[in-house]
Chains A and B, each alone.
Chain A
Amino acid sequence: PRPPVRRPCRVMILVNPLSGRGQALQLFTGHLQGMLTEAAIPYTLVITEHQNHARELVKKADLSQWDALVIMSGDGLLFEVINGLMERDDWQEAIQTPLGILPGGSGNALAASVHHYSQSPPAWNEELLLSCGFMLCKGLVGSLDLVSIHLASKQRIFSFLSLAWGFVADVDIESEKYRHVGAIRFLMGTLVRLATLRVYQGRLAYLPLIPNSSPTHKPHPPPDSLLPGLDQPVPESWTVVKTEDFVLVLAIYQSHLAEDLWAVPGAAADDGIIHLFYVTGGISRPALLRLFLAMEKGAHLACGCPHLVYEKVRALRLEPISRQGVITVDGETVEYGPVQAQIHPGLARLIYG
């Protein structure tokens, strides 16, 4: 049984008014406000004014005032909050603050994952929002894996969703705008991406998860014990992928990449696993399309595509050789260059269940 959020529960709700094509605030007042009032949850609404506003606020906040920090926006705002908490001197206590997520527009992968973990059938838009609102009111808290990511510039960031390189399908489609049909996944951006499909050169290595070992859930504080410096070779216990031609590399630690992209059947918020997928060069455009179409139902692994590889890992390193390309963390572009990552099981706390 999970310990619930303390009652009465004072909640700070951070809203990005530009999220969801400017609808986030309306969605809040229209659907959530009533729910929270009925559940007698005192809350304070904070409207973010610019990028990094949330990050700075959370870095300086007196966290003893709050029982939970709730983000009503896309995944980008949660990224700011998590990194703001980890940048504090008292990060060890700060990261224990329960976090809540309400889908506020585009890029709601965590909300979709959390909804999925509650074993409900897939939901979008308002239904997803109400489901997450309901979970917030129930106030059950679980643990959340975080992945620390080292960039070439020696910067370290904390990620809760994914690290991706290469062909990235449009994961931030505003699905409330389009009637949901199998082919919805393709808008102009995806078609153009498919049309200009290219192969990226790079080296990939990872530390496999040892089967039958349960990952330890004691909060692993940074430093990252599994990672040598980026300029050093990877440890011998790591597996080095033989191919150096990739269409995409995706490391994901939640079940969903988007509301309609169920990437990891069987994932949990705190399974302590980085689910590593890569697609090798040589795959045809129709075959790649087939994978993304199948991913809506989590059926991509059953496609039997020889170019798709899936491994469960605890740490990884990616060194792009192609001079140009894009690397994203939690959906946002980061500096392009060698990166490595390690999972910290259960480092944060999330309201779900």
Chain B
Amino acid sequence: MGTTASQLGKDLLSEYQELTFLTKQEILLAHKRFTELLTKDEKDLPNVRVPMEKILTLPELKSNPFRTRICQVFSTSIVKDGSLTFEDFLDLLSAFSDSATLEIKSHYAFRIFDFDDDGTLDCGDLEKLVNCLTGETEDTRLTPEEMRQLIHNILDESDIDKDGTVNLSEFQHVISRSPDFVSSFKIVL
């Protein structure tokens, strides 16, 4: 089941509205923006898969430090190349929408931070996460000792079953203490 660029049928629109957290208006806007990324030939084809490089030109994603991970998480491509069909794109916008629940958002945040896709956040994932946030320059990048201490602190705080990694429910438990998480974890076109 797919959709061509020219028209988003009424039935499909209703179906998408039921399956996602998006309103009909948001879905139509998403359709418009997705179509703009297609080449002239692609516009007549169903189920087009847009390569990640093109998705990343969207202003809403361009400056997000996790843009690559976001595409990878929502991509249904067999070759795991971060490419998105329109339905993948809707899933992405749905998870990041105003109406998505804390449970959905924290689930996807977890998957985005799970850089090696192994289902838990281990030291390697946490280190990559911190480096994403501390930037490239000398004065904010952490020293190896600081990184070690920080990861130790995080695991101490979040790793309830003490297995050396943070699993989904441990992560969700920590996130539930941030009152602003739901309103901050957002991408709106």
Contacts and interface: CB of A to CB of B under 8 A. Distances in A.
A289 B153 CA distance: 17
A181 B149 contact: yes
A179 B156 CA distance: 11
Interface string A263-297: 00000000000000000000011110110010000
A117 interface: no
A293 B150 CA distance: 13
Contacts of A168: 180
B153 A192 contact: no
B149 A195 contact: no
A290 B166 CA distance: 26
Interface in B93-118: 98, 109, 113
A179 B153 CA distance: 8
Interface in B107-161: 109, 113, 129-130, 132-137, 139-140, 142, 145-147, 149-150, 153-154, 156-158
Interface in A193-246: 193-198
B132 A195 contact: yes
B90 interface: no
Contact of B183 (A195, A286, A289, A325): A325
B65 interface: yes
A34 interface: no
Contacts of B135: 284-286, 289
A192 B109 contact: yes
B133 A194 contact: yes
Interface residues of B, number: 40
A193 B140 contact: no
Band of interface residues on A: 20 to 34
A332 to B, nearest CB: 10
B7 interface: no
A181 B146 contact: yes
B9 interface: no
B89 interface: no
B157 A286 contact: no
Nearest to B146: A183
Nearest to A289: B140
B29 interface: no
Interface in A17-62: none
Contacts of A326: 179-180, 183
A160 to B, nearest CB: 21
A195 B153 contact: no
Nearest to A180: B149
B8 interface: no
Interface string A303-344: 000000000000000000010111000000100000000000
Nearest to B151: A183
A293 B135 CA distance: 14
A325 B180 contact: yes
Contacts of B65: 195, 285
A186 B133 CA distance: 11
A178 B185 CA distance: 28
B28 interface: no
Given A286-B135, A289-B133, A326-B183, A195 B174 contact: no
Interface in A150-204: 167-168, 177-179, 181-184, 186-189, 191-198
Given A178-B153, A182-B146, A195-B129, A188 B179 contact: no
A172 to B, nearest CB: 9
Given A187-B154, A293-B140, A193 B66 contact: no
A244 B4 CA distance: 40
Contacts of B179: 326, 333
A194 B66 CA distance: 12
B185 A188 contact: no
A177 B183 contact: no
A187 B183 contact: no
Nearest to B105: A196
A191 B183 CA distance: 16
Contact of A198 (B66, B147, B153, B186): B186
Nearest to B173: A188
B133 A191 contact: yes
B25 interface: no
Per CB-CB distance, the 6 closest pairs between chain A and chain B, nearest first, are: A286-B135, A324-B183, A196-B184, A183-B146, A286-B140, A183-B150
Interface of A: 167-168, 177-179, 181-184, 186-189, 191-198, 284-287, 289-290, 293, 322, 324-326, 333
16 contacts: A167-B180, A168-B180, A183-B146, A183-B150, A186-B130, A188-B157, A188-B158, A191-B129, A192-B181, A195-B65, A198-B184, A285-B134, A287-B140, A289-B133, A290-B140, A324-B98
Given A186-B150, A193-B180, A326-B183, 19 more contacts: A167-B180, A177-B157, A181-B145, A181-B146, A181-B149, A182-B146, A187-B174, A188-B166, A191-B154, A192-B178, A195-B113, A196-B109, A285-B133, A286-B134, A286-B140, A322-B183, A324-B183, A326-B179, A326-B180
